[in-house]
Structure 1
């Protein structure tokens, strides 16, 4: 297995320039049908990106690629909460460094007041900045998820939401509509009595599904888990999960996440009767 992985990395390095490597790594992983292969290979990819970042510490594309991969590993393959936090911290560090390389003023604003961050985004930034803003907001969301035991982390959700909403002004369905899925999750964290906006969240989930012709399976799973369970709607919950299980997971840029969504759907559906009793 180690030999095969080494050969794969050599092939990647010889087939493309170093500058294209991060995007090619991300694309190959997201189009992989077997999560076990990604889980086995990801540590080597992480080391490779760490080495590239050490060599080119100010390269924004390498920093963003490292952030994405560490964030994905934290949310999917981490063995325990401690490792998940470590990986999420690394993802956040790389994302912040990339944002600071991109624009120091915006980087500093993420640590200030929410209204000041929003005002800066709306006045000084445009579609050319979408990639880095979305990447940073995604890493931030993952870091918060890994640190839900820290109220200081949870208090930063508003800034993540603001950055995601800003992205939708220019790219409403950025990243295969995953920006809509993020917003759906953010709006369904709490019941209405505690300030949550589940119906707004439902609209985001439905927009993501409509745009991808129902092929973003993780959107279905999170729709069921975040919205249907929150409102105790078993009929919707079970329908969404069964549709996920019946679907073909193969889709450019979503195959891996769709496969993982089907695994999660099976677990959630098996728990349905007990959850809704």
Structure 2
């Protein structure tokens, strides 16, 4: 399945490069979206882990040929973020994760720079930057969410970088705008971001566990019983920060015991969630 999609995208990339035709550009964007949808429907994380990098390279090629295509930039941003988040969470993968999250961030920022008002305010003081973000509306939520996720993912993957930390207020402002416009987008994904963020901050320097828990609980409510990843992240970040081993173990065991029938769009991430839950449970004694 993955190889067929990558082959199709390769053909489309050649067509875009030789024709320059607008309809071919739309075919490329549509093919990328179809491929990403297929990846999310795969129940085998290892298959996606092994096959997705080739597809990422094809997306790079398509963007190189059509560098101002908003759909391709958004999908490239999302694809790199999803791959790095799902498969490069271990310490051994830290350098590679930072590199791929950096590519996601690059595509995301190029996407927002397609709006002249954003480009003019990108390096302005925060009040001007936030005023520019206020000009984004409901139809821009997919772009804001993709960019915020990628940008924050890059920052988290570069914990020793002062440059990355300096960009945190702007990245948070992007995600805050997405949340304000539509908290339900991506099944409450922005709530997951902020739940994680407020649990990861140092005690006395930004950590807010009650606020973290409210965001996680809202994300679990919006995602519904079939979406397992919010529960895993709640245990991994909130329960750990709250030093609550019983909540940690009970939540993760609930994920492993869940008998939900995965809807197609959740197959991959639910499989990843179960794998992550099992791994975290094995590490419980080390964590606490």
Q: TM-score, normalised by structure 2?
A: 0.85
Do 1:221 and 1:241's aligned partners in 2 also have CA atoms closer than 8 Å? yes
CA distance in 2, matches of 1:87, 1:268: 24
| Range moving further from structure 2, 222-231 or 243-252 | 243-252
Q: Are 2:45 and 1:39 equivalent residues in the alignment?
A: no
In structure 1, list runs of 5 or more residues that go unmatched.
Answer: none
Partner of 2:171: helix, strand, or coil? helix
CA distance in 2, matches of 1:147, 1:211: 30
Q: Are 2:80 and 1:50 equivalent residues in the alignment?
A: no
How many residues get paired?
Answer: 270
Q: Are 2:1 and 1:7 equivalent residues in the alignment?
A: no
Task: Note the 1:21-40 alignment, pairs <5 A.
Answer: 21-40=31-50
| Residue aligning to 2:29 | 19
Residues 57, 199 of structure 1: CA spacing in aligned structure 2 closer, same or farther, 3 A cutoff?
same
1:83-106: per-residue Cα shift (whole Å, max 9, x none)?
2222112111111111112x1321
1:135-176: per-residue Cα shift (whole Å, max 9, x none)?
111110111122112133123323222222211222111112
| Residue aligning to 2:105 | 92
CA distance in 2, matches of 1:173, 1:62: 23
Q: Give the Å deviation of 1:230.
A: 0.8
Q: Give the Å deviation of 1:72.
A: 2.2
| Residue aligning to 1:82 | 95
Q: Give the Å deviation of 1:252.
A: 4.0
Do 2:2 and 2:52's aligned partners in 1 also have CA atoms closer than 8 Å? no
User: Which among 83, 104, 117 is matched to residue 73 of structure 1?
Assistant: 83
User: Which among 124, 128, 144 is matched to residue 116 of structure 1?
Assistant: 128
| Residue aligning to 2:18 | none
